């Protein structure tokens, strides 16, 4: 699977070097429609691995409406330190090759923003 930064000026490799927490990983996946079943099976295997990692809190996968084979995953982690350990783990890195060749992931880390009377941090 190819990784394409959501923000080319600040790719995931730079983000994981910042100590922060909690963080939310948002990963947008695009792929060919014919590869959806393989994508789902591979993502499920990856999610099971991540779920066993220290600092993992939760994850959810969403599919775009209609005929678009676009998926959005978000995962909550205690910290960038915990996410970095899982994301750079050799077992996870090896799993990336199991994704269909048409799959492109665009991972990015986020933190909550406090907006008075709207959002809590």
Q: For each of the chain's 121 residues, which pLDDT tens digit applies?
A: 899 999 999 999 999 999 999 999 999 999 999 999 999 999 999 999 999 999 999 999 999 999 999 999 999 999 999 999 999 999 999 988 999 999 999 999 999 999 999 998 7
Q: What is the pTM (predicted TM-score) of this model? A: 0.92
Q: Do 36 and 69 meet the contact criterion of CB atoms below 8 Å apart?
A: yes
What single-letter DSSP state applies at residue 78? S
User: Which residue stretches of 29-120 are H helix?
Assistant: 36-51, 80-87, 90-95
Tokens describing residue 29:
């996946």
Residue 11's pLDDT is what?
A: 96
Q: Which residue has the tokens 């709207």?
A: 118
Q: From the CB of residue 118, how many other CB atoms can be counted at a distance below 10 Å?
A: 7
Question: What SS3 class is residue 96?
Answer: helix
What element of type H or E holds 15? Answer: helix 12-15
Residue 42's pLDDT is what?
A: 96
Q: Which residue has the tokens 């922060």?
A: 20
Radius of gyration of the chain (CA): 15
Residue 95's pLDDT is what?
A: 87
CA–CA gap between residue 118 and residue 120 (Å, rounded): 7
Q: From the CB of residue 46, how many other CB atoms can be counted at a distance below 10 Å?
A: 19
What single-letter DSSP state applies at residue 57? E
């Amino acid at each position: 699977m190819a990784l394409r930064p959501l923000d080319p000026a600040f790719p995931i490799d730079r983000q994981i070097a910042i100590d922060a927490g909690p963080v939310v990983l948002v990963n947008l996946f695009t792929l060919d429609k014919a590869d959806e079943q393989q994508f789902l099976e591979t993502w499920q295997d990856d999610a099971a691995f991540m779920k066993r990692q220290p600092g993992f809190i939760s994850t959810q996968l969403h599919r775009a409406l209609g005929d678009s084979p676009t998926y959005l995953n978000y995962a909550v982690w205690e910290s960038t330190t915990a996410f970095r350990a899982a994301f750079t783990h050799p077992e996870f890195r090896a799993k990336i090759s199991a994704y269909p060749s048409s799959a492109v992931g665009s991972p990015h880390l986020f933190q909550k923003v406090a907006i008075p009377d709207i959002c809590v941090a």
